[in-house]
Structure 1
Amino acid sequence: MATALQLTGIGKSFDGFQALTDADFDARWGEVHALLGENGAGKSSLMNIAAGLYAPEAGRMWVDDNPVQLGGPRDAARHRIGMVHQHFKLVKPFTVAENILLGHPLASGEGSHRKRLGQLEAQIRAKAAELGFDIDPTQRVAHLSIAEQQRVEILKVLLAGARILILDEPTAVLTDAEAERLLSTVQALARSGAAVVLVTHKMADVKTYADRVTVMRGGRTVKTVDPKQVAVAELVQLTVGDSVAVPQRRRDGVAAGAPRLTVRGLRSAVAGGRPALDGVDLQLKAGEIYGLAGVGGNGQGELAAALMGLDDAVEGDITLQDVGDLKRLSNAQRRSLQFAAIPADRYGLALAGALTVAENFGIGQVHAGSYGSPWRLDTRKLEADAQAAVEQFDVQGVRSLGQKAALLSGGNAQKLVLAREFGRAPRIVLAHSPSRGLDVRAGAEVHARLLAARDAGAAVLLISEDLDEVLALADRVGVMTRGRIVAEFDQPADRQAVGQAMTDHG
C-alpha cells in the first residue's frame, strides 16, 4: 500500500519541556494504523503536528509522498487531513448542519445562507446514511449524546474532504456497543481507500481493528509492529516499559491503620454516554499512600473533585472516620478536619494568581479566624507564618511576600500549595497529579512531602497518570478505568500486571 502520511525525526517542546524527540510515524492508504502509548507519551502532540495545530521544531512531513510544511489546520485540510479531537470542538447551541458548515467549502459559496445550509443538510444525510450514522442535521448539538456528537465531528472532517482521518482517543467516553460500532465504521472507511490513524491506549481496540500499531513512550517512537503477530503482554511491555523493580520508598513491616475515608458506590449523573464515575469503591487507611493509576479521562478528575468538595452532584457514600457523611460538610468544615487538597490544576483551583504569596498562603485559614476576622486581618502574623512556610518548603523566586503568586514557576507554585495545605499536620491528603509538569528536583520534593505526611499518620490518596510515580510511592495500588476501580495490588506490585489492568478494562 502507498504511504498517505509520513513524519520523520519530529521534535517539539513546550515551555522547555521536550514533548517529542526524533519521533517517526507513517500511515498507508487503506489501513487503520494505531498509535499506542500512555498519557504523556507524545501521541496527541505528534498528531496535532500532522493536523497543522502545532509547528514542529525539527523533522519533516510528507503527504502522499510529497513534502509539505503546514501553516495551520486549514493547510492540513487542503491536504485532506482531518482530526477528530478527544475533546469535541462543537458549538452546542448550533445545529449539526450549522456546526459542519463552519469548516465546509459551502461556507464561502454562492447563494443565501439558508440555501447553502439546505444543500449541506442533504449532504449530511447522504454521508450519514453511507456510514450508518443516525444523525438529524437540524438537531441542536446540545441535545445530542456524546456518541452522536462524535459522529458529527467525523462527518465534519469527512464532508470537508478529509481522506486521512486522525481519531484521538475516540472510544474514551463511549459505551462498549458505541465503541464497537464506531470502530467498525472507521475500519470500513479505511477499507474503502482512506487512511485512518487511531490514537489510543486500549489494547483491545488495537488488536481488533488495527492493521499496524506504533508504540510511543516518553515522546519517542519505540516500535511499529503488526498487532496480529504480537501478544498483548508484549504490547503492554512496549507501552509501559520493562517490568523492572522500582525502588520503593516505603516503611517495610509497618502496617497501615484503620480506614479513615470510605467510598461506596460513587456515581455521577451524566446526560448521554457513560457516567464519569460508575460505582467507585475505595478505602483510604491512616498511615498509607493509596496510589490510583490509570489513563487520564477515566474518572480520576471527577473522583478528586467529589472528594475535595468541588462537585456535589454525585450519588453514593463518602464516609469519614468518627465524623460520618463527608458530602454534607462544607469546604470550610473539611479544612477544619485537616484535609489537604492538591488539585491537578494548581493555577486554576489551588492558587489565585492575582493575589499575593502571603494571601495565597493564608487564604485557607482566614475563615477559620486564625488571622482575625476577614475585615480586620492580623497581617503581621499572616506574613510571619507565610515567611516561615516559604523558607521551610524552599519556595524559590519569592522576592517579597507581596509578590503575585502568578509570577512563581510551576514547581514553586506547587511548593506554595504544599506549604499551605501541609501547614497543619493533615489527617487526609488528596493529591491529583502533584508532580505533573515539574522538574526532577521539584517532583522529588513533592514526593518527600507526601511520604512525610504518610509517615505522620495521614491517609494519602495519590491520583496520577505517571505509573512510575504511583509504583514508587504507593503502599497499595488501584487501577481506575471507565469510572470504576477495577483492580488493586499490594506492594511490591508488578509493573506489567498493573499496566495490563490499565488496558484490559479499557
Structure 2
Amino acid sequence: MIRAHITHAQASSSNPRPERIMAENVLLRLEGITKTFGGIVALEGVDFEVRAGEVHALIGENGAGKSTLMKIATGVHHADRGRLLWKGQVVRLHTPRDAHRLGIRMVPQELTLVPQLSAGENIFLGCLPHRRGLFSWVRWKEAHERARALLRELGHDLDPTRPVSELSVAEQQLVEIARALAFEAELLIFDEPTSPLSEHETERLFQVIARLKARGIGVIYITHRIREIYRIADRVTVLRDGRHVLTRPIVETTPEELVRAMVGRELREHFPARGPRVIGEPLLRVERLSAPGRFYDVTFSVHGGEIVGLAGLVGAGRTELVEAIFGAREYTSGTIRIAGRPVVIRTPADAVRHGLALVTDDRKTKGLILTASVHTNIILPVHTRIAHLGLFLNARAERQLTERLIRELRVKTPSADHPVMLLSGGNQQKVILARWLATTPRIFLLDEPTRGIDVGAKAEIYEWIRRLADQGAAILLVSSELEELQRLADRILVMHRGRIVGELSREEATDDRILYLATGGGA
C-alpha cells in the first residue's frame, strides 16, 4: 500500500478546498514549510512550486536552506509545519520511496549507481524485465534494448552494456536521468549537476534538460553558477537564511539583483580588480614531466606574482599533473625546478618543505580531516613544514596563528574548536586555504578551488587569490569555469589528452578559442 497519503478535497461548491484552486500545470507546491534542527531554524515559512515542462532554478548561499527544502520534497526530511501538494492534492511523504511513487526523483551530486553493473542494469535496477514461471530469469536483451531507447530519447548513443565504472561522470549522470525516466519520473531535481563537468559536457547536459522540458517533465535546478540559470531556467527562486526572498521569471531579473538577494547586501565586483603587480622570476618550472597514461612531456613556468590558468576537459590530465607536482602522484620522467633549482618531490611533505601548497577540489577526501577541529586542520601542515628542522610551535602561538587566519579569511565558525565537517562548503574551502597560508608557501596549486561553493564565498576566495599574487606568490589555477580563468589568470595553458596544446594571453582567451584547443583543435 502506498504510504504517500493523498488527502482528496471534498466536493463542495460553496467552500472549495484551496488545494483545488491552482494552475493545472503545477506539479509540486510547498506551502509555508518550516523546519528546525535542534533549535536551529533551517527553513521558516517557505513557499515554492514547480510546473510541468518548466526549469525552476533554486539558488542561495550555502546554509540558505536549499538542500533541506529539497529533502522535504523528496521524503528524506519531514516539515515541522507547512504542507506539500502534488498536482493539487495534499500529500504526506514518509520516505523517499513515497516521492518516487509520485514521480519525484533526485539526480544527486554524489551519484548512486553501482559501478560493477552495466549502464542498462543500473537503469532498471529493481525492475529488470524478467520471464515469470517456475524458474524466473532476467530478459537481458530486452533490458539493454529498452535502456538504449531511453538513452537515445535523451540524445545519446551510450552503449548500455558498458560497466558504469568505465563511464565518465557526465555519462553516469545520463544513466541517472535515464533511470528516473524508466521509473516514469515527472519531476527531476538536479543538485549542482555541472560541478564535475567540463564546458562541453555542461552544454550536452543542457540539451538533455531541454528534451526533458519538451516532454513536459518539471525540473528543479540547484546551482551556485548564476550564469547557467540564464541559459536554461524559466523561473528562479532565491532563499536566504532559511527564508524565501524572491520568485520571478528569469527574464525579469539581472545577475546583480540575484546576487544581492542571495547575500543580503551589495557585493563588490565578483572578480576583484587586478592591483599593481610585478611579475618576477620563475618560481615554479616543470620540464618535460611525464606519467604515461596521465600526462606527457609537460613543460611550463609560473613566475612570482603571476596567475597561470590551466584549462581542459574532464580527463585531460590537469588534476593528475598538479598532484604529481605536489608529490601526491608518481611521475616517471622530467624535472621540477623551484626558484631555478632542481628539486626532488616524491611526497606531499617534500612539496610543503619546498614551499608548495595544494588547494584541492575534493575537500572531503583529500583536503580536510572532517572529524577534526578547525584549529587542528589549520595547524597540521605547519608541523610538517618545520618538523624536519627540529622546531615546534607552542600551544599559545598555534592558537594565535589559527585565530588570526580565521579572522583574515572570515571563516564562519562558532570557534576554532568546532568540527570542520559542520561548516558550509565555502567555509571548509577557506579552512584549506588558511592551513596553507599558515605554512607561508611561495607557490600555490589551486585545483578547482571554488567548486560547489556559493557566490559570496567565491568572491572572497577570488580576492585572496589576487592578493596572494599581488604579494609575489606564483599561482597555478585549474578551473572548469572559463570565466574564472579569463578574469583571474594572466595567461592560460590548455591541456588535451595529457598534453599542453596551447597557451593564450588574457586577450586571446575567448570561450571559442579555449574550447577549440581543449577539444583537440590545436593538437
The TM-score bracket by the shorter chain reads 0.5 to 0.7
Change beyond 3 A, Cα 1:448–1:79: closer
Q: Give the drift of 1:458.
A: 5.8
Q: Give the drift of 1:449.
A: 10
State the distance in 1 between where 2:330 and 2:38 align.
35
Change beyond 3 A, Cα 1:154–1:239: same
Are residue 467 (structure 1) and residue 487 (structure 2) matched?
no
Partner AA of 1:336 in structure 2: R
Alignment match, 1:486:
485
Alignment match, 2:406:
none
Work out whether residues 236 and 248 of structure 2, in 8 Å CA contact, stay in contact via their aligned partners in 1: yes
Q: Give the drift of 1:13.
A: 6.3
Match of 1:75 among 93, 98, 103: 98
Work out whether residues 29 and 86 of structure 2, in 8 Å CA contact, stay in contact via their aligned partners in 1: yes
* Pairs within 5 Å for 1:389-428: 389=397, 392-393=400-401, 411-412=416-417
Are residue 436 (structure 1) and residue 459 (structure 2) matched?
no
State the distance in 1 between where 2:70 and 2:389 align.
51
Match of 2:115 among 83, 92, 97: 92
Alignment match, 2:347:
330
Q: Give the drift of 1:104.
A: 3.2
State the distance in 1 between where 2:278 and 2:29 align.
52
> For residues 483-502 of structure 1, what are the alpha-carbon distances to aligned partners after superposition, in whole Å with 9 as ceiling and x for unaligned?
66523469xxxxxxxxxx9x
2:178 is paired with a residue of what secondary structure? helix
Q: Which moved more, 1:135-144 or 1:300-309?
A: 300-309
State the distance in 1 between where 2:326 and 2:37 align.
30
State the distance in 1 between where 2:101 and 2:165 align.
29
Match of 2:187 among 143, 147, 164: 164
Change beyond 3 A, Cα 1:361–1:339: closer
Work out whether residues 346 and 413 of structure 1, in 8 Å CA contact, stay in contact via their aligned partners in 2: no
Q: Give the drift of 1:81.
A: 0.6
2:175 is paired with a residue of what secondary structure? helix
Q: Give the drift of 1:141.
A: 1.6
State the distance in 2 between where 1:315 and 1:229 align.
56
TM-score, length of structure 1 as denominator length: 0.63
Q: How many residues align?
A: 438
* Pairs within 5 Å for 1:57-206: 57-104=80-127, 114-203=137-226, 205-206=228-229
Alignment match, 2:339:
321
Partner AA of 1:337 in structure 2: H
Change beyond 3 A, Cα 1:2–1:114: same
Alignment match, 2:55:
32
Alignment match, 2:328:
310
Work out whether residues 38 and 240 of structure 1, in 8 Å CA contact, stay in contact via their aligned partners in 2: yes
5+ residue gaps, structure 2, are 1-23, 270-274, 404-413, 490-508, 516-523
Percentage of matched positions with identical amino acids: 30
State the distance in 1 between where 2:290 and 2:77 align.
35
Q: Give the drift of 1:100.
A: 2.3
State the distance in 2 between where 1:201 and 1:285 align.
31
Q: Give the drift of 1:166.
A: 1.6
Alignment match, 1:211:
234
Q: Which moved more, 1:310-319 or 1:184-193?
A: 310-319
State the distance in 2 between where 1:172 and 1:352 align.
21
Partner AA of 2:157 in structure 1: D
Q: Give the drift of 1:25.
A: 1.9
Match of 1:368 among 388, 403, 409: 388
State the distance in 2 between where 1:467 and 1:241 align.
15
TM-score, length of structure 2 as denominator length: 0.62
Partner AA of 1:469 in structure 2: E
Are residue 230 (structure 1) and residue 258 (structure 2) matched?
no
